[in-house]
Structure 1
Amino acid sequence: MNFNFKEIFTAFMVLFAVIDIIGNIPIIIDLRKKVGHIQSEKASLIAGFIMIIFLFLGQSLLSLIGVDVNSFAVAGSFILFFIALEMILGITLYKDDEEGGITATVFPLAFPLIAGPGSLTTLLSLRAEFNIENIIIAVILNVFVIYIVLKTSSKIERIIGANGIKIIRKVFGVILLAIAVKLFAHNIKELFA
């Protein structure tokens, strides 16, 4: 075991920035309104499980199905792009199933919002730099933060208010759109390089 606090902290901060759970609060609140209930524990655990499994099997899994990391990131950028459009324009592209909160807990919340193409491709690049046990601890710490934000999102909504949520939603929609465009541009360039 090669535990290194600096590696854990750096990996945590990189993942925290990429997952952007604070920036996703408007989306979480919006999903909660659409489906009524989100299972915070389940969403956090599923997202953490997806990230840890992808950390070990990501490269092999993508190679097995004939998809490279860049193609995976381009596909993910489209999902982020459409979520951003919903936020900015106030339209609904994602349709709910009958299962409601259970489905929303897994898709689009746990995947691709939390454990999305950004965080999964970041995990692959972190693995090239850091010891795997430090990355796992960073993932677990992020899952804990995600759980706290998911659990307190309704309290956050009460503090900020309806108009505050609308403003934050539009602002973060534009930021998410920019991230989607950057993810698309960077990876499409890599695909054709």
Structure 2
Amino acid sequence: MSLNIDELLTVTFTLFAVIDILGSIPLLISLKTRMGVIHEFKATLISGALMILFLLVGEKFLGILGVDVRSFAVGGSIVIFILGLEMVLGIEFFKSDGDAKSGTVVPIAFPLIAGSGTLTTIISLQANYNTLTMAMAILLNLVVVYAVLRSLNFIEKLIGPAGLLAIRKFFGVILLAIAVKIFATNASGLIK
């Protein structure tokens, strides 16, 4: 197995666009405010583990559960839609239980970072790229994810409360649109 730099860049940027960690900044800041703290390393580690697990056994695992990739994507789109509604309407659907550990896993590690879009993209890309290229692309994206998670306080100070509110509403609508697209793309074959 060899590492082709062009392929690595293609897979890395594809995953970067799907993970959209920069677009998730307003939601992450909102979640951090609600939970008090985000365990950046743990969120990065768990999302990375999910991505690598899906790289190695994703389709087989879903098959064992009797779930196809499309059903998985539709389920993830519903969670993303609810997160978008939270951002736009200012209503809290995901109640914080005060435990930052659980918030670090859901909804941060999954579905925000390693969501259905990311995991299905990994399965799709695997048809065209080797495992080493895929693993390196995942690792490079995790470095960016960790850097963004570590910088949330700085980003929040830089943007300010009014800017954060405006960006949160804007990206809430973007999240809603992404959720609708994922749902529409995958739901058509499920309902008979």
Q: TM-score range by the shorter chain?
A: over 0.9
For structure 1, which runs of at least 5 residues remain unmatched after alignment? none
* Correspondence for 1:18: 18
Deviation at 1:96, TM superposition (A): 1.5
Q: How does 1:20-99 map to 2 (within 5 A)?
A: 20-98=20-98
1:134-173 matches, within 5 Å, as 134-173=133-172
- 1:77 CA drift (Å): 0.5
2 CA distance for matches of 1:119 and 1:190?
A: 20
Cα deviation, residue 2, structure 1: 1.5
CA distance in 2 between partners of 1:162 and 1:97 (Å) = 24
Cα distance in 2 for residues equivalent to 1:16 and 1:24: 12
Cross-structure match for 2:8: 8
Tell me which amino acid in the other structure corresponds to 2:116: P
Per the alignment, in what secondary structure is the counterpart of residue 129 of structure 1? coil
Instruction: Write the letter of the residue equivalent to 1:68.
Output: D
For this pair of structures, how many residues does the alignment match? 192
**1:181 match:** 180
Q: Percent identity, aligned pairs only?
A: 50
SS in 2 for 1:23: coil
**C-alpha deviations, 1:73-104, integer Å up to 9, x for none?**
00111000000000000100001124x21111
Using the size of structure 2 for normalisation, the TM-score is: 0.98
Q: Residue 128 of structure 1: SS of its match in structure 2?
A: coil
Aligned partners of 1:34 and 1:187: how far apart in 2? 32
With normalisation by structure 1, the TM-score equals: 0.97
Q: 5+ unaligned residues in a row in structure 2: which ranges?
A: none
What's the RMSD between the two structures over aligned residues? 1.0
2:189 matched to which residue of 1?
190
